[in-house]
Amino acid sequence: MRVLVTGGAGFIGANLVRLLAGEGHVVTALDNFSVGNADYLAGLDLEIVDADILDSAAMGRVVGGHDAVIHLAAQTRVPLSLADPRGDCQLNVIGTLNVLEAARSNNIRRVIFASSNAPLGRQRPPAKEDKAPLPVSPYGASKLAGEAYCLAYHGSWGLQTVALRFANVYGPFSLHKHSVIAEFMSATKAGRSVTIDGDGSQTRDFIYVADLCRAISLALLAKTGGEVFQIATGVETSVARLAGLIQHTVDGTMHVVHGPARQGDVKRNYSEIAKARRLLSWHPAVALAEGLKETWRWFREWPLK
């Protein structure tokens, strides 16, 4: 297939384009490089387009000629959504609308949308597709709106949309990320202390990026549309336990301090993945301890910039 990946120079994008190219797809990576890193794509045999998803005219031009779009480009940080909810909305809602409109106008039949558990917000875990969304942050609200537009474009025009609710993703090519594992490892490599928000009892579901990318690839080829899937491990891990695992992985060189709890944070978060197992024939394969070792190996080898 001819596949366009928005946010192709970002963390997940850099991993995904490698997988898709290895599977024989013809890949175009679109990024505005405000966050993504061009070095992540160095030496790869693919087309790279410098464009912004907020530029509807550019999106209309770039999307044409592809069979499918995987839409990863987004504002992904809860604190930034609190600081600038309008900017979060512009990028995550209008940007997604631009992608869907470009796909519709170019007769692209399939769009995979990167969502999150954030739309569920106040729901008690485990996160499931049939629970009513109750977002607690502007980020959660913007991702929920993106999901809703994907479902609406399927219902109105038959666009084969699939929204994947990513758990907390970690792995190679995440040096620029502000997620907990990337923050802990980049700080440790630089010799800085790491900060746990609150007491560390908050829980998350951590999924290795290679497992996530396999799920995206399977969703790309699946016959289903107008669906939402939880993509996670189903394992609940506290941030305090995670810190202990990373401490072991980096041979005890990580120094931990505690800060205040984060506004808009979800206390417990993990997913049930039965639907993805059943309809996508997908399951996670990399255990957390193994994935942390691979991630730390990449962090040690990649230069700090």
Could you report the per-residue pLDDT of 234-278, keeping only the tens digit for each?
999 999 999 999 999 998 888 999 999 877 677 888 999 999 999
CA distance 84 to 243: 30
Pairing of strands 194-197, 168-170: unpaired
The answer to whether the CB of 253 falls within 8 A of the CB of 209 is: no
Beta bridge mates, 230: 165
Question: Active-site residue 170, yes or no?
Answer: no
115-168: per-residue pLDDT in tens? 999 999 989 999 999 999 999 999 999 999 999 999 999 999 999 999 999 999
Taking every pair of Cα atoms in the chain, the longest distance, rounded to a whole number of angstroms, is 55
Q: What is the pLDDT of residue 252?
A: 82
Catalytically annotated residue among 139, 149, 153, 170: 139
Virtual torsion, Cα 132, 206, 273, 261, nearest 10 deg = -20
- Distance (Å) of CA 86 to CA 82, 113, 133: 9, 21, 20
CA-atom Rg of the chain in angstroms: 18
Q: What is the predicted pLDDT for the residue at 261? A: 87
Kindly state the DSSP code that residue 90 receives in the 8-state scheme. Answer: I
In the chain, the domains with their CATH numbers are: 2-170+206-234+270-287 (3.40.50.720)
Rounded to whole angstroms, how far apart are CA atoms 136 and 218?
A: 30
